[in-house]
């Protein structure tokens, strides 16, 4: 392999990095759009990109390295107790990481930096996710056992032989029992350019080890394979078979293969020998060849070529249509479609018709009468008074014989029935929400917790409290009535005349009307009243109900026959009163049951069409074209 | 694991009547198993209980086998990562090369090798189905066990979990040779047939995740032997391994350390075995053969039952509180509905003053016979009955007028008929909706409990039951109340006083009339005064009678409101509203009973285990199963 000069290490050539530096803009934009979409994707329930290979390459490799002065990162990786620390120490030329007989002791990566690099390189940026910590002893890497404690121990080359742009890293294992720690090795793998793969005859074909190196090969990392603990030279012939299996399994094309004989004494003293096996990488075998200095070999590789290859590999992973970032965007879009369906389910289920009792007639009529008072003729006023006196006399008699109720009692009766209707509507609503959650897993994810963990007794208590605090005639309603009547009289200039002419008729007909309206009168979840609360799903359907419920019933009143022109107006006034009353139900639903979840659903259902998604798609397309050029 | 058939007993070969093992309470263990079987199937409608059932169905056949096949030889599965020297060890134990071993290629063992002594029948192991090869051996170490050299768990991919956000291994997509590797699947079909696991590890592999996850899956109820191989090459890692096993919840009293190659060489050459290997052979002989085998099987079964219980109770533990909350929720909602009912019934009873009056009058009239006042009361009652009875509507009215419980109307009428006693549909629905939420918290749903709104049939039955119960309760209460009041005035003294007072006026009137006639008219010669005086007197008599009646009834009525209040406070004891919430009450009770039974079984298991603690061997086991 040309990249591994064994005879005369060539000095590193000046950086030829223009190719991937040109990608800096695209990488920045990609990272930006992923950051922007991250929150939304999590909310959508799309799989987190954090564990995905493309994400690791984009954020762990491309972003930190595309704009910085290129350094080459070589990582020593392998399974537990295969001798990674030993190999690392030999490469560095000093004991940076304690090599111990117990397995899985290196818990966090240890980096050896060339002299002077610590000042110029930002390790936290170069190795995202790790907290750099200066080296104090060779046992640093053994600590930090707690998961989430992602330290990166670093030390400047104590010997002074490390090439100026080469960082060497000893990594934790990739197959230990503490699986939650595997991500540290994976993060180092993402960031590095060269991997020294430490294999043994026991582990070269372990699935965990294979998968680790296959991902590295797929991301364009250059591999140097070291078979450790070999019975040398007895097993020399075996290595070809092991190596063939490894290459076939991982798809890797290693730069070179070395064998390290099993030798207790040398391992103890840190003087293990690396025997080059050129026959495995296209060269000719030389059984008599002396061991090589692997550190020198690494120092002599073509940094820029390897770096470019690693950067290209990383980009390829990100752009891969079947496994790269595009799959994440697909997931976002398909999640959004599911939310769209969930919204449909909710709209279908969460409709409740509230059968409110008929309004106490005098309340609405009093408002109308009050508006009319200054516009009435004396005859009409007198007639009206006559009725009022007669009416109160009849009411007094009724009360005495026990079949009449006072106005207060009637109102109490009304509010009790009204509260019952509202509570029943709330029960039905909760039941429908339960049903919607059963139908849609997405809704269950969003609302299930509220429905199961929520204190339902408190919801009813909230409704009762709001209902108790509701005035019989609110100022809003008063303004609404005045506005409606004013508007009507403006739009119908003859209205007052008609009304005044008809007033005698009106007042004569009044008892009939009120009786008629007592039989009629119904409303539903408020329309206008709730419009400001963002309950779009509820409100739309509710409006239909108001029209449906009130129009035919009110129309049967004598009012409709006598004053056909006024019919729609009166319908609106009565419906408006009921709507105003039942607003408390909407408030309870909004304030204590649903919160802002309807807005959330609305947002998620339309997330697939967000400009960020389109921008991400376009960026991927552009990058793909740029990359293939 | 694939859905291929797993290696297991074809049939139970020999059923040996169990002989008691020392320290082992066989009857108690059988009781425990029966209890577990009954418990796991007790509540099939509750999802957590269903999961317990599903787990039981996995465990039950093993427990059953352990009970039936007490004296069969133990099957020892040799497991470990590839390259740890499993086959080499098996060869050493078998005394000859029975399983290919070496460093040529990984994995070496792709089909299980079963080592048995010549005279041991292993036909009950379904060996063909997993492609196992049977070899016989005369070696003493395997004379009384069946040894299986298992495939490794670590060469079959992928070990990576299903990738998040896209496939994990993207580029290239070429066929990998390992895609044909099914060693782990094969292993998972062999291990169920093993009674004991012999775990082989090296310095490189004792912390291997893939081995650890297989052991975790199969260790429950299977005693473990531990062997560190490659002793001549690797450092002694047994202490660290023991710590690692400890972390995995496995107790390892003894770990053997040996060199398989050396042991096999010496065995083949007929030399004295090295100490490590000799220790392992001795352990097999002492711990797995003869009476020890029976003990291993028994304690293994007990451990398995304990593991099942700890798993089940571990899953159920978070439900203790929700179930308790549901029970208290049912109590709270029952109380709420009863409160509404109390208020309405009391109001209704208080408002039915004329009805009370009539009931009490009828009682009194019936008892007071003879005498002028009694006749007066009878006459008044007779006059009253000329008026059509003011029939009280509704339940309370009908009961006070002695007409009994009305029948339940259909449709919305059912609700209307109980509205007067304070139970509106909305209130019942509110309570049920709150309980639906609490039940969902305990993962209780249909069909254990219904929905918030009762369907028409349920309404019909519930309302019917409620009205019947309320009717009986009310009739009893009203009768008692009336009887108490009646007893207040129904004394000979009171009756006598009334009769005397009423009779006195009549006597006075008659005396006066007699005086007027005999003295005034006959003696003095005054003219007769006509009937005017008598007419006047009659009016006074009637007024006097009415006055006395008023006094009597005032005494009857006194404190009626207080007594009504007293009556309705006894309403909760009558459990009147239960029909509306009975499904939730039943669900809370049965689920609480299920949890309680589980705890009880765990206590019984702990007691059984306490008896065998002394009999434990140096075999390893999964610990911490006592919940």
CA distances to A234, A329, A534 from A609, rounded to whole Å, are: 64, 11, 21
Residue A232 sits in the same domain as residue A374: no
Q: How confident is the model at residue A400 (pLDDT cuts 50, 70, 90)?
A: low
- Structural domain includes residue A295: yes
- Structural domain includes residue A387: yes
Q: Which residues of B touch A80 (CB under 8 A)?
A: 204-205, 207-208
CB neighbours (10 Å) of residue A521?
Answer: 23
Query: Which pair of structure tokens corresponds to residue B573?
Result: 């004891």
- Structural domain includes residue A121: yes
In this prediction, residue A520 carries a pLDDT of 23
pLDDT in tens, B457-467: 889 889 888 88
CB contact B455 to A (< 8 Å): no
Residue A427 sits in the same domain as residue A513: yes
Helices (H), A469-524: 475-491, 495-519
In this prediction, residue B19 carries a pLDDT of 46
pLDDT in tens, A30-73: 999 999 999 999 989 888 898 899 999 999 999 998 877 788 99
Residue B399 has pLDDT above 50, yes or no: yes
DSSP states along A239-286: HHHHHHHHHHHH----SEEEEEE--HHHHHHT---BEE-GGGGTS---
Q: Could you tell me what percent of chain A has a pLDDT over 70?
A: 78
Q: How far is CA A587 from the centre of its chain?
A: 28
Contact B434 A80 (CB under 8 A): no
pLDDT in tens, B117-135: 988 888 878 777 888 899 9
pLDDT in tens, A215-256: 999 999 999 999 999 999 899 989 999 999 999 999 999 999
Write the CB contacts of A49 (distance below 8 Å, at least 6 apart in sequence): A34, A38, A41, A55, A325, A328, B164, B165
Q: Are B112 and B190 in contact (CB under 8 A)?
A: yes
Contact A49 B453 (CB under 8 A): no
Residue A286 sits in the same domain as residue A402: no
Which residues of chain A from 57 to 86 reach within 8 Å of chain B, CB to CB? 79-82
Most confident of A423-427, B178-182, B222-226, B483-487: B222-226
pLDDT in tens, B63-109: 988 878 877 889 999 999 999 999 999 999 998 889 888 888 888 88
Q: How confident is the model at residue B392 (pLDDT cuts 50, 70, 90)?
A: low
Residue A287 sits in the same domain as residue A411: no
Query: Which pair of structure tokens corresponds to residue B586?
Result: 């039943």
Residue A301 sits in the same domain as residue A364: no
CB contact B530 to A (< 8 Å): no
As a whole number of angstroms, the distance between CA A383 and CA A379 comes to 6
Of the candidate ranges A194-208, A530-544, B199-213, the one whose mean pLDDT is the lowest: A530-544
**What's the whole-number mean pLDDT along residues A151-164?**
88
Residue predicted with more confidence, B90 or A576 = B90
- Mean pLDDT rounded to a whole number for chain A: 79
Q: Which residues of A touch B87 (CB under 8 A)?
A: none
In this prediction, residue A245 carries a pLDDT of 94
Residue predicted with more confidence, A591 or A339 = A339
Residue A555 sits in the same domain as residue A450: yes
3-state secondary structure B421-481: CCCCHHHHHHHHHHHHHHHHHCCCCCCCCCCCCCCHHHHHHHHHHHHHHHHHHHHHHHHHH
As a whole number of angstroms, the distance between CA A216 and CA B82 comes to 23
Q: How confident is the model at residue B209 (pLDDT cuts 50, 70, 90)?
A: very high
- Structural domain includes residue A531: yes
Residue A245 sits in the same domain as residue A380: no
Q: Could you tell me what percent of chain B has a pLDDT over 70?
A: 91
As a whole number of angstroms, the distance between CA A452 and CA B437 comes to 5
Distance from CA of A239 to the nearest CA of B (A): 9
Query: Which pair of structure tokens corresponds to residue A148?
Result: 């989430």
- Structural domain includes residue A577: no
Q: How confident is the model at residue A465 (pLDDT cuts 50, 70, 90)?
A: very high
Q: Are A242 and A206 in contact (CB under 8 A)?
A: no
CB neighbours (10 Å) of residue B118?
Answer: 8
Q: Are A178 and B243 in contact (CB under 8 A)?
A: no
Residue A367 sits in the same domain as residue A450: yes
Residue B162 has pLDDT above 50, yes or no: no
Of the candidate ranges A122-126, A299-303, A522-526, B480-484, the one whose mean pLDDT is the lowest: A522-526
Among A280, A310, A340, the domain boundary falls at: A310
Place of tokens 């047939």: B193
In this prediction, residue A532 carries a pLDDT of 33
CB contact B258 to A (< 8 Å): no
Strand partners, B323: none
Domains of chain B, with CATH numbers? 74-156+181-288 (3.40.50.300)
Q: Cα(first)–Cα(last) distance of chain B, in Å?
A: 29
As a whole number of angstroms, the distance between CA A313 and CA A218 comes to 7
Of the candidate ranges A517-531, B38-52, B182-196, the one whose mean pLDDT is the lowest: A517-531
Which CATH number do you get for residue A173? 3.40.50.300
As a whole number of angstroms, the distance between CA B111 and CA B150 comes to 7
**What's the whole-number mean pLDDT along residues A483-491?**
80
pLDDT in tens, A425-463: 889 888 888 888 988 898 898 888 888 888 999 999 999
Q: Cα(first)–Cα(last) distance of chain A, in Å?
A: 26
Contact B203 A317 (CB under 8 A): no
Strand partners, A151: A131
Structural domain count of chain A = 2
B125: phi then psi, degrees, rounded to nearest 5:
-85, 125
Residue predicted with more confidence, A145 or A85 = A85
Q: Are B211 and B201 in contact (CB under 8 A)?
A: yes
In this prediction, residue B438 carries a pLDDT of 96
In this prediction, residue B617 carries a pLDDT of 76
In this prediction, residue A517 carries a pLDDT of 19
Chain B nearest-CA residue for A313: B171
- When scoring A142, A146, A206 by the number of chain B Cβ atoms within 10 A, the one with the most, hence best to mutate, is A206
Give the residue numbers spanning the domain of A90.
71-310
Q: How confident is the model at residue A496 (pLDDT cuts 50, 70, 90)?
A: low
- Mean pLDDT rounded to a whole number for chain B: 85
Contact B244 A177 (CB under 8 A): yes
Cα-Cα-Cα-Cα dihedral sign, residues A439, A444, A450, A455: positive
- Structural domain includes residue A580: no
Residue A269 sits in the same domain as residue A411: no
Contact A175 B209 (CB under 8 A): yes
- Structural domain includes residue A390: yes
Contact A52 B165 (CB under 8 A): yes
In this prediction, residue B43 carries a pLDDT of 93
Contact A218 B204 (CB under 8 A): no
Distance from CA of A256 to the nearest CA of B (A): 21
DSSP state of B176: P
In this prediction, residue A2 carries a pLDDT of 42
Residue A145 sits in the same domain as residue A213: yes
Q: Are A280 and A259 in contact (CB under 8 A)?
A: no
Q: 3-class DSSP state for residue B482? A: helix
Q: Are A229 and A260 in contact (CB under 8 A)?
A: yes
pLDDT in tens, A335-390: 999 999 988 888 777 766 677 776 666 677 777 777 777 766 666 667 667 766 76
Residue A413 has pLDDT above 80, yes or no: yes
DSSP states along B55-106: HHHHHHHHHHHHHH-TTSPEEEEEEE-TTS-HHHHHHHHHTS--S--SSSSS
From B204, B241, B197, B185, select the one nearest B221 (Cα to Cα). B197
Strands A222-230 and A151-156: unpaired
Residue A270 sits in the same domain as residue A377: no
pLDDT in tens, A319-328: 999 999 999 9
- When scoring A54, A55, A79, A103 by the number of chain B Cβ atoms within 10 A, the one with the most, hence best to mutate, is A103
In this prediction, residue A361 carries a pLDDT of 64
- Structural domain includes residue A150: yes
Query: Which pair of structure tokens corresponds to residue B588?
Result: 């809370």
Residue A217 sits in the same domain as residue A366: no
Residue predicted with more confidence, A394 or B44 = B44
Which residues of chain A from 257 to 276 reach within 8 Å of chain B, CB to CB? 262
């Amino acid at each position: 392999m040309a990249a591994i000069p064994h005879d005369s290490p060539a000095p590193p050539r000046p950086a030829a990095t223009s190719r991937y530096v040109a990608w800096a803009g695209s990488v920045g934009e990609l990272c930006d759009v992923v950051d922007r979409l991250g929150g939304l994707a999590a909310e959508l329930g799309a799989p987190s990109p954090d564990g995905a290979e493309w994400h690791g390459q984009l954020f762990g490799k491309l972003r930190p390295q595309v704009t910085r002065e290129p350094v080459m990162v070589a990582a020593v990786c392998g399974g537990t107790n295969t001798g990674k620390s030993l190999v690392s120490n030999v490469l560095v030329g000093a004991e940076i990481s304690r090599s111990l007989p117990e397995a899985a002791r290196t818990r966090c990566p240890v980096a050896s930096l060339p002299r002077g690099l610590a000042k110029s390189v930002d390790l936290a940026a170069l190795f995202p996710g790790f907290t750099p910590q200066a080296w104090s002893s060779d046992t640093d890497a053994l600590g930090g056992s707690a998961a989430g404690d992602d330290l990166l121990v670093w030390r400047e080359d104590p010997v002074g032989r490390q090439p100026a742009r080469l960082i060497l890293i000893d990594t934790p294992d990739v197959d230990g029992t503490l699986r939650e720690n595997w991500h540290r090795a994976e993060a180092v793998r993402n960031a590095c350019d060269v991997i020294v793969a430490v294999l043994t005859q026991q582990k070269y074909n372990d699935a965990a080890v294979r998968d680790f190196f296959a991902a590295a090969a797929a991301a364009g990392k250059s591999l140097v394979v070291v078979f450790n603990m070999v019975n040398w030279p007895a097993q020399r012939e075996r290595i070809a078979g092991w190596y063939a299996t490894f290459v076939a399994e991982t798809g890797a094309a290693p730069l070179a293969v070395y064998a390290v004989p099993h030798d207790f004494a040398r391992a103890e003293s840190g003087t293990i020998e690396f025997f080059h096996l050129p026959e495995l990488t296209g060269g000719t075998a030389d059984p008599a060849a002396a061991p090589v200095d692997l550190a020198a070999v690494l120092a002599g590789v073509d940094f820029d070529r390897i770096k470019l290859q690693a950067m290209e590999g990383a980009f390829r992973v990100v752009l891969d249509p079947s496994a790269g970032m595009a799959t994440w965007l697909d997931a976002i879009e398909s999640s959004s479609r599911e939310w769209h369906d969930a919204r449909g389910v909710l709209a279908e289920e969460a409709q409740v018709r509230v059968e409110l009792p008929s309004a106490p007639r005098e309340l609405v009529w009093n408002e109308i009468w009050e508006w009319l008072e200054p516009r009435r003729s004396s005859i009409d006023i007198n007639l009206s008074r006559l009725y009022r006196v007669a009416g109160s006399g009849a009411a007094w008699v009724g009360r005495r014989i026990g079949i009449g109720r006072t106005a207060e009692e009637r109102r109490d009766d009304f509010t009790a029935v009204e509260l019952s209707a509202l509570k029943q509507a709330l029960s039905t609503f909760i039941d429908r929400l339960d049903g919607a959650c059963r139908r849609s897993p997405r809704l269950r994810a969003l609302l299930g917790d509220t429905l199961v963990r929520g204190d339902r007794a408190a919801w009813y208590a909230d409704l009762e409290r709001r209902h108790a605090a509701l005035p019989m005639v609110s100022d809003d309603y008063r303004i609404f009535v005045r506005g409606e009547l004013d508007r009507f009289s403006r739009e119908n200039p003859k209205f007052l005349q008609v009304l005044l002419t008809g007033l005698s008729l009106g007042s004569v007909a009044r008892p009939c009307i009120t009786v008629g309206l007592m039989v009629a009168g119904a409303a539903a979840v408020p329309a206008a009243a709730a419009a400001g609360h963002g309950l779009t799903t509820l409100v739309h359907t509710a409006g239909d109900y108001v029209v449906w419920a009130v129009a035919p019933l009110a129309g049967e009143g004598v009012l409709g026959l006598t004053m056909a022109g006024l019919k729609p107006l009166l319908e609106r006034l009565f419906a408006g009163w009921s709507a105003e009353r039942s607003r408390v139900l909407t408030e309870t639903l909004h304030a204590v049951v649903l919160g802002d979840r309807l807005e959330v659903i609305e947002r998620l259902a339309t997330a697939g069409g967000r400009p960020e998604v389109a921008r991400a798609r376009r960026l991927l397309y552009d990058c793909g074209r740029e990359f293939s050029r | 694991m694939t859905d291929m058939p797993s290696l297991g007993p074809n049939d139970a070969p020999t059923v040996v009547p169990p002989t008691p093992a020392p320290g082992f309470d066989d009857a108690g263990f059988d009781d425990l198993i029966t209890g577990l079987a009954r418990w796991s199937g007790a509540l099939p409608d509750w999802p957590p209980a269903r999961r317990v059932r599903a787990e039981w169905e996995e465990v039950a056949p093993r427990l059953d086998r352990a009970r039936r096949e007490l004296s069969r030889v133990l099957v020892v599965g040799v497991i470990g990562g590839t390259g740890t020297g499993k086959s080499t060890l098996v060869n050493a134990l078998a005394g000859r090369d029975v399983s290919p071993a070496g460093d040529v290629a990984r994995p070496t063992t792709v089909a299980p090798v079963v080592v048995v002594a010549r005279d041991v029948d292993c036909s009950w192991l379904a060996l063909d189905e997993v492609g196992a090869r049977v070899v016989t051996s005369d070696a003493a170490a395997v004379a009384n066990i069946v040894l299986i050299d298992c495939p490794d768990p670590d060469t079959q991919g992928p070990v990576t979990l299903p990738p998040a956000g896209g496939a994990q291994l993207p580029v290239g997509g070429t066929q990998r040779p390992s895609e044909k590797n099914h060693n782990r699947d094969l292993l998972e079909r062999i291990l169920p047939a093993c009674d004991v696991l012999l775990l082989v590890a090296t310095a490189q592999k004792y912390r291997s995740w893939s081995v650890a996850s297989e052991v975790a899956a199969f260790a429950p109820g299977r005693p473990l032997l531990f062997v560190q191989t490659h002793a001549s090459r690797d450092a002694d890692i047994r202490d660290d391994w023991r710590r690692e096993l400890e972390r995995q919840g496995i107790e390892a009293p003894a770990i053997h350390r040996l060199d398989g190659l050396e042991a096999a060489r010496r065995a083949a050459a007929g030399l004295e075995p090295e100490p490590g290997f000799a220790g392992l052979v001795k352990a097999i002989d002492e711990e797995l053969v003869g009476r020890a085998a029976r003990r291993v099987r028994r304690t293994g079964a007990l451990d398995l039952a304990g593991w099942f219980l700890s798993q089940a109770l571990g899953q159920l533990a978070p439900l203790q509180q929700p179930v308790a909350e549901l029970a208290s929720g049912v109590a709270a909602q029952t109380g709420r509905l009863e409160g509404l009912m109390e208020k309405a019934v009391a109001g209704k009873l208080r408002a039915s003053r004329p009805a009370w009056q009539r009931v009490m009058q009828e009682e009194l009239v019936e008892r007071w016979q003879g005498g002028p006042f009694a006749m007066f009361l009878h006459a008044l009652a007779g006059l009253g009955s000329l008026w059509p009875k003011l029939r009280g509507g509704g339940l309370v009215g009908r009961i006070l007028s002695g007409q009994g419980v009305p029948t339940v109307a259909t449709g919305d009428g059912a609700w209307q008929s109980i509205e007067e006693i304070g139970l509106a549909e909305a209130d019942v629905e509110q309570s049920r909706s709150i309980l639906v939420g609490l039940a969902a918290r305990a993962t209780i749903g249909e069909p254990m409990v219904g929905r918030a709104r009762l369907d028409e049939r349920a309404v019909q039955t519930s309302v019917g039951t409620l009205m019947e119960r309320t009717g009986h309760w009310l009739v009893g209460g009203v009768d008692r109340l009336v009887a108490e009041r009646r007893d207040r005035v129904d004394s000979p003294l009171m009756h006598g006083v009334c009769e005397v007072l009423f009779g006195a006026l009549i006597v006075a009137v008659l005396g006066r009339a007699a005086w007027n006639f005999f003295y005034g008219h006959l003696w003095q010669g005054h003219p007769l005064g006509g009937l005017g005086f008598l007419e006047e007197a009659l009016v006074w008599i009637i007024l006097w009678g009415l006055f006395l009646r008023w006094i009597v009834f005032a005494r009857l009525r006194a404190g009626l409101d207080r007594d009504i209040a007293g009556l309705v406070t006894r309403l909760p004891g009558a459990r009147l509203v239960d029909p509306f919430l009975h499904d939730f009450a039943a669900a809370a009770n049965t689920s609480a009973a299920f949890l309680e039974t589980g705890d009880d079984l765990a206590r019984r298991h702990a007691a059984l285990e306490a008896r065998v603690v002394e009999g434990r061997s140096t075999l390893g086991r999964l610990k911490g199963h006592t919940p």
